Amino acid sequence: MKKVLETERLILREYTLDDTQFVITLLNTEGWLAFIGDKNVRTEEDAKTYLLNGPIKSYAENGYGLSLVVTKDGLTPIGMCGLIKRDNLDCPDIGFAFLPEFTGKGYAFEIADAIITYAKDTLKLPRVYGITMPENEHSKRLLEKIGLSYQEMYSFPNQEKELMLLCYEFSN
Ligand SMILES: CC(C)(COP(=O)(O)OP(=O)(O)OC[C@H]1O[C@@H](n2cnc3c(N)ncnc32)[C@H](O)[C@@H]1OP(=O)(O)O)[C@@H](O)C(=O)NCCC(=O)NCCS
């Protein structure tokens, strides 16, 4: 199990196939379903397929991917955060989602801010994007708090929904 980074209160580590129960819970929260979308992950089998084709595949292909956020005190899994490489963007975008009982405590900011530093200083990426629904006020606020600025409206290929594309251009 690989640790990606740690902050004052949190550890970010790569997912393993032992994290299926957490994935089922997180991907069926109201916030995930409303603002990210239904991935139809309901069973252990679905969660394994999601992890293998998503985060775990990305670690092997890109050296980074969506990872699990756990508290240092208790090692409780509370959310996911990380970078996602998409075919149609030249650099990854940052993604995050937390269980509702762990929002409003600054945890998402703490880990997302650390990922920005990691992307800039460790991965040495030139920029990081953020993609969000315009009505997702919490996500927009967080993306701006960690330094991203609005670029343009954006749609994924073959999808109608208009999203906001934000970007943090690093100067290294
Ligand atoms: C987007 C999401 C991760 C944001 O989480 P969050 O907990 O609101 O974000 P933060 O970590 O920045 O926390 C901010 C709040 O914690 C409060 N807070 C409490 N203790 C804090 C601390 N020690 N440090 C910083 N903020 C603290 C802040 O005052 C702020 O409160 P406010 O929302 O009333 O202004 C969360 O809403 C979520 O999981 N949504 C569903 C999934 C989703 O939409 N993902 C994004 C798709 S693009």
Residue 81: CATH number of its domain: 3.40.630.30
Q: What share of the chain is helix, strand, coil (3-state, %, to 5)?
A: 35, 25, 35
Bridge partners (DSSP) listed for residue 81:
67, 96
Distance 109 CA to ligand 1 centre (A): 6
Question: Ligand 1 pocket test: which of 94, 142, 145, 166 has the largest number of ligand atoms within 8 Å of its C-beta?
Answer: 142
Low-confidence ranges of the chain (pLDDT < 70): 172
**Which range of residues forms the domain containing residue 16?**
3-169
Count of structural domains, the chain = 1
Q: Determine the residue type at 43.
A: T
The pLDDT score that the predictor gives to residue 157 is 87
The pLDDT score that the predictor gives to residue 1 is 81
